[in-house]
Amino acid sequence: MIKEKKSLKVNKSPSRRKFFKAAAATGVAAVAASSLAAPAVAAERIEASMVATWGRDFPGLGTGAQRFAQRITDMSDGRIQVTYYAANERVKAFDSFDEVASGNSQMYHAADYYWVKKNPAWGYFTAVPFGFTYTEMNAWIRFAGGQELWDELADGFGLKNFMCGDTGVQMGGWFNKKIRSPNDFKGLKMRMPGLGGQVIGKLGGSPVSLPGGQIYENLVSGAIDATEWVGPWNDEAMKFQEAAKYYYYPGMHEPGSMLACGTNKSWFTSLSKADQLLIEAAAAMENDVMMSEYNAKNGAALDRLINDHGVKLERFSDKVYDGFGRAAEEVFEETRASSPLAERIHSSFLKARKEIGAWTNLSDSPYIQQRNRVLGM
CA distance 140 to 327: 24
Q: Which residues make beta-bridge pairs with 110?
A: 260
For residue 214, which amino acid is it? Q
Look at phi and psi of residue 240 and say left if phi exceeds 0, alpha if psi is from -120 to 50, else beta: alpha
pLDDT band at 376 (very low <50, low <70, confident <90, very high): very high
Specify whether 210 is located in the same domain as 319. Answer: yes
Q: Is the pLDDT of residue 373 over 50?
A: yes
pLDDT at 30 over 80: no
Q: According to the model, what pLDDT value does residue 286 have?
A: 98
Whether 32 is in a domain gets the answer no
**What backbone phi and psi angles, to 5 degrees, belong to 275?**
-70, -35
Same domain, 157 and 266: yes
Residue 125's pLDDT band, with cuts at 50, 70 and 90, is very high
**Which residue range is the domain that position 225 belongs to?**
173-254+308-367
Do 217 and 324 belong to one domain?
A: yes
225/200 Cα distance (integer angstroms): 13
CATH number at residue 85: 3.40.190.170
| Average pLDDT value for residue range 282-293 | 98
Helices (H), the chain: 14-42, 61-75, 96-101, 134-143, 146-155, 194-202, 215-221, 232-237, 265-270, 273-307, 318-336, 340-362, 364-375
More confident residue, 31 or 50: 50
Strand partners, 72: none
Within a domain: residue 6?
no
The pLDDT of residue 21 is 47
- Tell whether 198 is covered by a domain: yes
Co-location of 209 and 248 in the same domain: yes
Same domain assignment for residues 205 and 281: no
Mean pLDDT, all residues of the chain: 91
Q: Is residue 144 located within the same domain as residue 104? A: yes
Neighbour order of strands in the sheet with 206-208 = 206-208, 189-191, 226-227, 173-175, 246-249, 312-315
Confidence band for 249, pLDDT divided at 50, 70 and 90: very high
Strands 246-249 and 173-175: antiparallel
The CATH number of the domain holding residue 189 is: 3.40.190.10
| Alpha carbon distance 196, 200 (integer Å) | 7
The 10s digit of each residue's pLDDT in 252-278 is 999 999 999 999 999 999 999 999 999
Does residue 81 fall inside a structural domain? Answer: yes
Distance CA 139, CA 98 (A): 29
Cβ within 8 Å of residue 318, ≥6 positions away: none
Model confidence at 12, pLDDT cuts 50, 70, 90, reads very low
Q: Per residue in 142-188, pLDDT tens?
A: 999 999 999 999 999 999 999 999 999 999 999 999 999 999 999 99
Contact 200, 188 (CB under 8 A): yes
- Whether 188 and 321 have beta carbons less than 8 Å apart is answered as no
Is 70 exceeded by the pLDDT of residue 25? no
Decide if pLDDT at 39 tops 80.
no
Could you tell me the pLDDT band of residue 42, with boundaries at 50, 70 and 90? low
Question: Quick one: three-class SS letters along 83-148?
Answer: EEECCCCCCCHHHHHHHHHCCCCCEEEECHHHHCCCCHHHHHHCCCCCCCCHHHHHHHHHHCCHHH
